[in-house]
Chain A
């Protein structure tokens, strides 16, 4: 069975702990990794890819440590790094063929796969153009294509939608959705709506720890009854923002409509509303580490 297990994974850089004892098991599906900058998402993804060594704990694939599996594990891995580099003088096609060779894909299969993927990410028309002439979004799409080259069982995508315009993001979400049945896809992003649309499960990280893990329904349930809306005068807005965790603010004819995350009713007349994933995120990151949040 396709199963990736993180067993007390810890990574320390000197005295700083970037990832702190994360344990979880991932099976088929899309996992969205959410967390603020510096929360340890990228470090965790690099550990999952076997690029970084853990200080303690291990990542197991099918019961075997990925360190011992070595090339056998890398063979079924597709990775899109956050800082996706490229050789600027390469054309898109040559770049993909180069990576196909590094992924040990035989030449006859590589050619077909490259054509197919360039079409999938809408770069077929630019396949013979040098990458240095590409826009940020095009480079990102090329990055997504290379991650799919070996038809990986495990896909790790670090900020895959960064730099993509809304249309490209929708296209990307559709690609991921169509791929998710057969593999484990782990993606980190700051764009909560991306995760909301495509992730089967969400992993929330803060300060290197796994704060919460569960499906969207479960996550939303966590913040149910903690999200309020009220209308306040423009003069009071600043005071509320300072005193409460305000997730949204909108000017209306009656005043300023605030969306507040709070355990208790923040102000008389505030109405509880259905939470969304952004509310959950804001609710979780302000919490102290509770032990009962993961499922």
Chain B
């Protein structure tokens, strides 16, 4: 009759559940050559009946080890799309609150100007200033990685800082553009101008203020704290107000090419700035300032 056997060596998964018989067998063969010993061990193993419970334990242990190994070397990753959702969840609530306040203020101001029968510059002045502040807010959200001392740690993660920046910029940029497009649509409706033309007038100060933000952000470390950001908001607000206070001739159809040129040039400069910033981050120049 076959005997029920106990576990031999718990650490050795191959012998788990086979027990004393295998162990004794191995001891006996300790001085013979390996090949013959392996052959005899295999033959002996065929006669053994593994203990169900012990074998179950051993298999569970093996599965656990494999699982732990998988966590280390798995090819399973979260999809990039999910990362957008995660970033959306982890963007500070104050960011969305301020963004909401700015959008709400814009709606109220547009309504008030409309009730006062305002002209195009009246609309543009306010929407430009608010657009600039939205840009500052977006930049502040990027700056949080540095001001909270998280940049270094995030740069060492699988999804690193430039990737996080890209996601955040896409999210906050999309929100800004949506609000500004809605604003531009309203203004276009009130002033009987083409939507694209109004968009251009609104987007130029927005792009310029974003350029200022990145410039300020790259050049001055102090820009990453709260006071620096307030100065930045004031500065870009003034810039936007200045742009939107141009004489009426500047808004003539014939000057559209100049607006388009400034807009394209601005986008180009902004992209160059981003490239420069990403290069700095990659080299660790602004991540490790201490």
Q: Which residues of chain B from 204 to 259 have a CB within 8 Å of any chain A CB?
A: none
Closest Cβ of chain B: how far from A226's Cβ, in Å?
Answer: 36
The digit string for A68-106, where 1 denotes a CB below 8 A from any CB of B, is: 000100111101010111111100001000110111111
Closest Cβ of chain A: how far from B149's Cβ, in Å?
Answer: 2
B78 sits at the interface (CB 8 A): yes
- Given A89-B92, A107-B78, A99 and B152 contact (CB-CB distance below 8 Å): no
For B148, what are the chain A residues with a Cβ–Cβ distance below 8 Å? 85-88
A45→B83 CA distance, assembly (Å): 28
> Chain A's interface: helix, strand, loop or mixed, by majority?
loop
- Given A103-B157, A106-B77, A81 and B152 contact (CB-CB distance below 8 Å): yes
- Given A51-B287, A74-B160, A76-B72, A85 and B150 contact (CB-CB distance below 8 Å): yes
The digit string for B159-188, where 1 denotes a CB below 8 A from any CB of A, is: 110001000000000000000000000000
Closest A-chain residue to B151, C-beta based? A85
A88→B151 CA distance, assembly (Å): 14
- Given A74-B158, A109-B71, A79 and B90 contact (CB-CB distance below 8 Å): no
Interchain CB contact under 8 A, B158 and A103: yes
State the B residues within 8 Å of A (CB): 68, 71-73, 76-78, 82-83, 86, 90, 92, 144, 148-160, 164, 282-284, 287-288, 290
From the candidates B86, B153, B160, name the one contacting A85 in the complex (CB within 8 A): B153
For B155, what are the chain A residues with a Cβ–Cβ distance below 8 Å? 51
Closest Cβ of chain B: how far from A86's Cβ, in Å?
Answer: 7
Which of the segments A145-153, A192-200, A204-212, A278-286 contacts the partner chain? A145-153
A74-B157, A84-B149, A99-B157 known; 18 new pairs, CB 8 Å cut-off, are A49-B156, A51-B155, A51-B287, A52-B284, A52-B287, A53-B284, A71-B160, A81-B152, A83-B290, A85-B151, A85-B152, A87-B150, A98-B90, A101-B86, A101-B159, A106-B78, A107-B82, A150-B158
Task: List 27 A-B pairs, Cβ < 8 Å.
Answer: A46-B152, A51-B156, A51-B287, A52-B284, A52-B287, A71-B158, A71-B159, A74-B156, A74-B157, A74-B160, A76-B73, A81-B153, A81-B156, A84-B153, A87-B148, A88-B148, A89-B92, A101-B83, A101-B86, A102-B158, A102-B159, A103-B159, A104-B77, A104-B159, A105-B71, A105-B78, A109-B71
Closest Cβ of chain B: how far from A145's Cβ, in Å?
Answer: 13
Interchain CB contact under 8 A, A106 and B288: no
A99→B155 CA distance, assembly (Å): 11
Closest B-chain residue to A76, C-beta based? B72
